Structure 1
């Protein structure tokens, strides 16, 4: 029994197999790139959210310092966008200045990440109006 009917058809079967294999490889690569992009977007969003939460915390601490409340050491957990952010705050006083160090850590898609933020604060004095 002969499967190939014509000698001209012999090369086409191999060519079709190679082309089909290349299409499958291209599809797998595209899905892999899409998955990697989605993973990077998730990590980037969590990192940006952490930075914004710390920035808000530092701004509040600076405003409280101007009102007379001294910054203090604290540990907080904030949940935002289904991600838990753990903030460890430490404060060192150096003369009139307060060096506030916040380490924030979180976990996204099974991967633990952390970032450190430092801000030097000083209580601002109100200027008296002179008449």
Structure 2
């Protein structure tokens, strides 16, 4: 009886392992798997440290390489940009809320929707222009 139970247990274990290997394949069971690659910076998690685009996505890495004078100038530019965004951001949000309210109505006034979209676009264009001015003034030095 004991030999029969041992045989059936071994057979069951082999059966389970067979199912696992057939479903996932040898590579996925033995290797580290997809999760490890994601942590290392694959397409799912963004660019890795070795990527040529890392400065775009890791601004602190770029900031640490600046001299103290360049760091102060960089912070000044960021502060000026923040002021521009904060000045126009509230207005843009108000217009977007008005637009959402209009679209939630049973029969929205499409002329009003178009006007609100135009106003939002103009405000966003003003923000882009102000940021361009700040960047242009600070790159001339």
TM-score w.r.t. length of structure 2: 0.31
Q: Which has the higher helix share?
A: 2
TM-score w.r.t. length of structure 1: 0.33
Q: Which has the higher strand share?
A: 1
